[in-house]
Amino acid sequence: MKKHNYKVSRAGAMQPRDYSAEADAAPHHYSENMAAVQRHADDKSHGGNVEDEKFASATVTLNCDVISEDMEIAGFERATLKTALTWVAIVCTAGLLRLVFHWLPQYYLKCTHRRCSLAAADTVLLRDQYFQWFVHLVKTLRATDDQSNKDGLSMSPIGASPYLLIPDSGGRFREVTHIRYFVSKKLKYIWDEDTKSFNCLRSLDTDTPCSYFYGCQGLQEEEQTIRRQVYGVNAIRVRVWPILEILFREVLTPFYIFQVFSCTLWFIDEYVYYAAAIVIMSVASLSFYCYSFRTMQMELRNKIVTHDIVSVWRGGELVETIEAELLVPGDIVIVPHHGCLMQCDAVLLSGNCIVDESMLTGESVPVTKTPLPNPKVDKKQGPLYCIKEHARHTLFCGTKVIQTRYYGNEKVKAMVVRTGFSTSKGELVRSILFPKPMSFKFNRHTYYFILCLSGCAFIGLIYTFIVMSRDNTPVGDMVVRALDLITIAVPPALPMALTIGIVYARQRLKEKDIYCLNQNSVNICGVINAVCFDKTGTLTEDGLDMWGVVPVIDSRWKPIIHNTTEMDQGHIQVCMATCHSLTIIDEELCGDPLDLKMFQSTGWDLEEPAIADSVKFDQMMPTVVRPKKPRFGTSTEDVGQGESMQPEIGIVRQFTFSSSLQRMSVITRALGASNFDLYVKGSPEMIVSLSKPETVPANFAEVLQTYTMQGYRVIAIAHKPLPDLKWVKAMRITREQVEQDLDFFGLLVMENRLKPETTPVIKILNDVNIRTIMVTGDNMLTALSVARECQMVGMYDQVILINATPTGVAYVNSEHVDVEPAAHPKEEGNFLAAGDSSDVRRKDKRYHFAMTGSSFANLRNCHRHLLPKIVQRGTIFARMNPEQKAFLVEHIQELGYNVAMCGDGANDCGALKTAHAGISLSEAEASVASPFTSLQQNIKCVPTVIREGRAALVTSFGMFKYMACYSLCQFTSVMILYNIGCNLTDFEFLWIDLCLLTVLGIFFGRTAAHSVLVKATPPDSLLGATPLLSVLGQMVIMVLVQIVVYFYIQTKSWFTPFVRNHEKEYASYENHAVFIISQFQYIILAFVFSKGAPYRKTILSNYYFVAAMGILTAACIYITLYPMQWIINLLELHPPDSLTFNLQFIAIALVNLAACLICEMFLVEFLFFRILKNKYKVLRRTKHVYETIEKELRNDRSWPPVETSHEHKRKATEEALRSPSSDTAVILGEATKPTHATADLLHRNDNAKPFLRNLSTNSQSLLISPPSGGASVGTSPVNDSAYAETQYQSSL
């Protein structure tokens, strides 16, 4: 039978390809529920093999519009005969095979189903890009199915002609009688008969023209009900597992199954005490796990699930109130004037909304949403709605509408485009529920090590059968003894022992107000070597603070003014009081935090017209500002054409801030004044380019650089009188007509204060070679200054800006780089030209990349081959959205880094969950997504978590080696005694297992973390040469000592050999010698493997452990030298009568201790780890990807091809002119900001003529650059448009 391979695109096109050989699926990893995958992700390794390739060759690739991830799918149908045979095998194996199928359900699917086409499949097998497997039933939904009680919601009857509606392109819906579908990762995939594929259920955000939304009149209840049958309820539900389900899922894991097997065997063998102890500890461990897991699920559900009532428009004047869970795409909701929490993604159709989007972006600045533009064209020809491009017109689920504004009685309407898990909030929740699986080397290697121990157990099992069959031992006893040997070689208490260090680390973290939700992340923190930080609220305080004002009078700088309330009421203070977008909502002043700080620093009051907040929509009555304490003194700069300062000023018109224009402005009029005034604020370079040259100080660039290099945020202000402007014209004039020929009045200097803990922590991390990265949604300028101030970027390090477009990547010298902090800004030599800084970079290669989210997206999509190099040196990532933050963390992980993420906002949730260790500084949504939550709102918790992680990892390493050596040591004792038909007695086992092992194991991990971080990270591989040599060396010593003692006691004249018997009477000299020396060996192993510095404090600080070792050693000496008779009877000892011989046991134990210490400290740690590994490359670990890339970057002096900002603008202009379009003027005018050199290029190119003519009327978009090849900072302004036009005319 031929198989087909299908590649399904977003458009759904599919082309089959034939394969001659039948392909079969051989999955490596699967979890039926992703929450279980999340719990065990650290313990699984994923990799492909030949069968995986076969699976891929016969599968379909699903492209999901919402999650944009590739998944491979294969169809299966039930095979009756295979099912019957499988269940016969399950019965014959007493259910053991079914248990294996529980761990690997994909094999159960193969054994009970046969491959078929997707059209005939009743079950599908999926594999995602992380090699995780999912089995899903294909369900059929018919229009006649009863939906009345589905999801607990009431459904209205559909009618006499039932049908279902499935979405089609262009916003249309198609009628069908039934659909086939399955649900994976909370998303529904439906069968498309046209493309013969399963496609993600689309919503109205795909292939829908903008004009469609204005042609809709709302849904009637019947159509809403029909659509809801397909889309389901509008709810983001997090299932909380019942206690019994959590319990059984955990009990059925391989480790606990092995414990059940061991304890059962021990009870059969009457080894009751230790079996009971293991049962009690396991029950306690399971109870704690079930409680913590269910608590975490409930917290996630409580913080995510919301319920609300909404009003939907049914057309005309009919408005109905329904539950938000009943909404479907196509419903038109009425947004209440007092605001609400959005329950879906909806496109705004009428009115304005002021929205708090901090849940998505992390920025608390209220955003004004405006209606979607209504194109006056045919629906089929209109522009398509894109939720990213039209974000300013979209209300996102989970965001809070603070207030609505509208004309008169007009309602604020929005059409639902996405519901449930398809919404923006749903994507965020799914990123929490289904994170990228993390594979930690230590956890993987524990399985390999256990396989080695199992191999030893198998060898011992064969040996036991041979020896006991020679002695004619009954088969039952032989089987019990052989199985008992397995429980000795593979200790059932190993899982609990490995968590000892983690439990103590969590306890210590809790004492420092750091809470850990996922204990698997503690050990991973021990190998963290890269930390990503959010900026606002994490590195810095929230918002900006006013630092001072630097006035300019007669083109000369005046002394800085820190107390702005005491300023003269001239143009600077009036600009600060009027040039903003603040508004009053519920009697509280709201708006951009920067504007808010600026206005509050003036000490003025703001009054809006006495009308309801909800109707402040293009109101004609102006907003008025006035001083709280009017002062009528004169000023050197009067407001209003020579008249004295007026106490009241009205804001007549506002031109809002534009990131592309880098400025905002307002038209104002003072009470009683005869003319209007224009006040402008924005980036210094932009304001200078729009100002008259004679009003700008000659040393503008130097002064500006002085403040920016010290990390301040600098804003320039300017003024222009409008004497001939009338009221009507003021309402219609464009900003391009007025924002030119300004009078430059000075600088506002603001500081984004670092938290006092930030710089010391960054320095600590840098000193120990832990890479620090800033990932922020804030602008690049602020991010650069903060990175400098907190020493994330060194004072002599260069920052190279990455400007990536779909057609190319430019590497541009950032402005003000490679400069010392300007403590003495006027001294010569403190400022380097861009060309010189490039030379500095090429000598020591200390440079950092900085880029925005748009450049990062272009790199991922169009220049992926450059991404590893750029991410390797990337330090500053600005304007990053939540999805991009998570992608960045993934790319850093792909380089081989172990990444931690520290953030405080809901927009950090994806990155917090993706990182190996997420640390949240918030108790809101971010705390649910991250394994760690710090109640201390600063990054001081980061080195604390890393220190505790290192201590826990070293403890786990030591504990694992101790448990492995303990089991092999006891295995050796039993094997020696089996040779003569003897064994350790039950109470000897109990003394070793319960008193020695358990007590020492409990206190082994109490050693606290070292107070100082060091550069070297602890090893994370159990299969490395060092840990293997350590275990092997210790075991050689232990085995030799036991063998020597076993044979040495037989040389004594009073020795009598053991006589075999079937009564389990094991008292003998051989038993006594092996037991006595082995009890000392367990204490020696605990001491040797209990490492202190540099990751843990000295062992002497662990008082409980030292006391336990002292007491147990004393007890062992007592048992060796002169035990009481009841102890002899209890342990069934056979001690020699010679005290001299018993003292020899103590001497041998001391020799054993010395040999173990020499082996561990000299041979392993010093000779091998420090000398031989450095001398021979073959002994060193394989280099990580990032180490290889870093070496290439250091050796390649030709990359990156750094340009100055001046050169970059010229190249951008050339590229635009080579491909002229109607947007060329806009691109050149706003993006490239042409200078003198650009004009020289323009006048030589015929394509530039239209641009030059447009340029003369758009000079406000020009940015002044220095005539020389220096860094691109503002200098003496020149009218570039006039210069360019002159050059062009001369060329003609």
What pairs with residue 919 in β-bridges? 902, 932
At 1166, list the tokens.
């010093």
Catalytic (active site) residue 128: no
SS3 content of the chain, % helix, strand, coil (to 5): 45, 20, 35
Give CA angle at 112 (180, 433), nearest 5°.
Answer: 55
CA angle 1256, 1260, 1266 (to 5 degrees): 95
SS3 278: helix
User: 878 forms bridges with which residues in the sheet?
Assistant: 852
Q: If we measure between CA atoms, which residue out of 169, 203, 186 comes closest to residue 239? A: 186
Distance CA 89, CA 1168 (A): 51
DSSP string, 969-1021: HHHHHHHHHHTTT----HHHHHIIIIIIIIHHHHHHTTPPBPSS--SSPPP--
Pairing of β 178-184 and β 187-192: antiparallel
Q: Identity (one letter) of the amino acid at 4?
A: H
Q: How far apart are the first and last CA of the chain?
A: 75
Residue 1198, judged by CB atoms within 10 A of its CB (0-12, 13-18, 19+), counts as: exposed
C-alpha span between 1094 and 761 (Å, rounded): 19
Distance CA 418, CA 344 (A): 6
Give 1178: exposed, middle or buried? Use CB within 10 Å, 0-12, 13-18, 19+: exposed
- How many Å separate Cα 164 from the centre of its chain? 39
- Please calculate the CA angle 302-36-89 and round it to the nearest 5 degrees: 140
Both structure tokens of 731: 């309402």
**φ, ψ dihedrals at 664, nearest 5°:** -140, 160
What the block records as the tokens of 315 is 């057309």
Helices 1139-1157, 1103-1121: inter-axial angle, 10-degree rounding: 150
Mapped to the 3 state alphabet, what secondary structure does 819-857 carry?
CCCCCCCCCCCCCCCHHHHHHHHHHHCCEEEEEEHHHHH
Residues 6+ apart with CB under 8 A from 755: 539, 540, 541, 937, 938, 939
Question: E strands, 643-768, where?
Answer: 649-658, 663-670, 676-682, 712-722, 743-751
Determine which one of 42, 534, 743, 818 is catalytic: 534
Cα distances from 209 to residues 171, 206, 327, 369, in angstroms, run: 8, 9, 21, 19
**Sequence-ordered alpha helix ranges (H) in 215-304:** 221-231, 243-251, 254-268, 272-304
| Nearby residues of 1201 by Cβ (< 8 Å), 6 or more positions away | 811
Contact (CB, 8 A) for 99 and 252: yes
H or E element, residue 77: strand 70-78
The SS3 assignment for 383 reads coil
- Nearest Cα neighbor of 234 from 305, 346, 340, 328 is 328
Read off the amino acid at residue 1282: A
Number of neighbours of residue 859 by Cβ within 10 angstroms: 21
Catalytic residues: 534
